């Protein structure tokens, strides 16, 4: 849940008419894609085993908000798949996925193209260093060999990687892609990495459906679900389904300081902290998309 200033040039409101599924009609985990890969049969038990792994003792406190078992099951991630995590950041999901995929599958950290946005040289260098350190980070946590994991920035993906990924997950980062005006290039790059029919799973802070554009341009962390669906359609993805795994009806999604008002950031520090603790982490959409032919 990172806060970053940026320049907005993509007007999502112009894309709303492209959204194919009325949000009011969507139920939890409603299936809409006729060509979608099959659900992940038998994945719940190994996901639950990872969730209970003693190595996750420090991460487990956030499971009540991030719902990794329900989310990754909905994203149809099997233990033998090749999966990319976009913008790993604090590596909370990387640690979970590393345990889940490290024996039979392959986890790859996918980092921003450092040259695609308004990143200063020192920030560009930091992104590349983070990608270089990623395999060792996940290996250290999981106790597995570092060669079970990989990472690179999207401008430096090896040629042989194109069309080899089963699933790419984008946890709570779409607002930054919009805010930094890099969504198009980044999504196109990820699309190129996916196999035919490959999946992108998105977890994103959810604004109210009638929230004004000024609040849903990415700068507050919240996006409208219809806008995200429309954007992904523009870049060659069909909606497979939606899930309420990460819904939080207590979140009014209208905080002047944006989503960072809520835990775990607490932008207002101790001011009304008990109130925000009681609300919990943000209301989030959980969407699954299939790469369109």
Residue 8 in any domain: the answer is: no
Residue 1 in any domain: the answer is: no
Q: What is the pLDDT of residue 96?
A: 98
CA dist., res. 121 & res. 118, Å (int) = 10
Q: What is the pLDDT of residue 48?
A: 98
Residue 11 in any domain: the answer is: no
Does the pTM surpass 0.85? The reply is yes
Q: What is the pLDDT of residue 198?
A: 97
Residue 15 in any domain: the answer is: no
Distance of CA 180 to the CA centre of its chain: 16
Distance of CA 79 to the CA centre of its chain: 19
Residue 2 in any domain: the answer is: no
What residue numbers bound the domain in which 125 lies? 21-291
Q: What is the pLDDT of residue 36?
A: 58
Mean pLDDT per 10-residue section of the chain, whose length is 293 residues: 42 41 39 62 96 97 96 97 96 98 97 90 96 98 96 96 98 96 97 97 98 97 98 98 97 98 97 98 98 95
What's the Cα-to-Cα distance from 285 to each of 61, 132, 193, rounded to whole Å?
21, 31, 24
Q: What CATH number is given to the structural domain containing 58?
A: 3.40.50.150
Which residues, listed in sequence order, are joined to residue 170 by a DSSP beta bridge?
202
Q: What is the pLDDT of residue 8?
A: 39
Q: Are 116 and 186 in contact (CB under 8 A)?
A: yes
Residue 162 in any domain: the answer is: yes
Q: What is the pLDDT of residue 39?
A: 87
* Site of tokens 């992940």: 40
Q: What is the pLDDT of residue 29?
A: 46
- Is 287 exposed, middle or buried, given 0-12, 13-18 or 19+ CB atoms closer than 10 A? buried
Total domains in the chain come to: 1
Q: Are 230 and 18 in contact (CB under 8 A)?
A: yes
Residue 173 in any domain: the answer is: yes
Residue 6 in any domain: the answer is: no
């Amino acid at each position: 849940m990172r806060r970053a200033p940026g320049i907005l040039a993509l007007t999502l409101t112009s894309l709303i008419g492209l959204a194919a599924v009325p949000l009011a009609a969507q139920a939890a985990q409603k299936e809409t894609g006729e060509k979608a890969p099959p659900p992940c049969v038998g994945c719940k038990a190994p996901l639950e085993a990872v969730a209970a792994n003693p190595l996750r003792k420090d991460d487990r406190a956030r499971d009540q908000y991030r719902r990794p078992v329900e989310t990754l099951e909905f994203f149809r991630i099997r233990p033998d798949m090749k999966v990319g995590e976009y913008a790993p950041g604090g590596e909370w999901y990387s640690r979970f996925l590393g345990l889940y995929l490290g024996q039979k599958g392959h986890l790859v950290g996918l980092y921003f193209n450092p040259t695609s946005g308004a990143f200063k040289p020192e920030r560009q260098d930091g992104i590349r260093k983070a990608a270089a350190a990623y395999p060792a980070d996940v290996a250290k946590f999981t106790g597995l060999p570092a060669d079970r994991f990989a990472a690179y920035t999207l401008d430096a993906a090896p040629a042989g990687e194109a069309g080899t990924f089963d699933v790419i997950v984008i946890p709570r980062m779409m607002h930054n892609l919009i805010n930094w005006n890099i969504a198009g290039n980044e999504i196109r790059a990820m699309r190129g990495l996916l196999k035919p029919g490959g999946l992108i799973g998105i977890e994103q802070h959810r604004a109210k459906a009638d929230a004004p554009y000024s609040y849903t341009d990415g700068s507050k962390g919240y996006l409208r679900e219809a806008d995200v669906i429309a954007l992904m359609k523009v870049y060659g993805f069909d909606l497979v389904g939606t899930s309420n795994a990460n819904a939080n009806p207590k979140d009014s999604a209208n905080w002047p300081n944006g989503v960072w008002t809520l835990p775990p950031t607490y932008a207002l520090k101790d001011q009304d902290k008990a109130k925000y603790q009681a609300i919990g982490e943000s209301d989030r959409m959980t969407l699954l998309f299939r790469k369109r032919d």
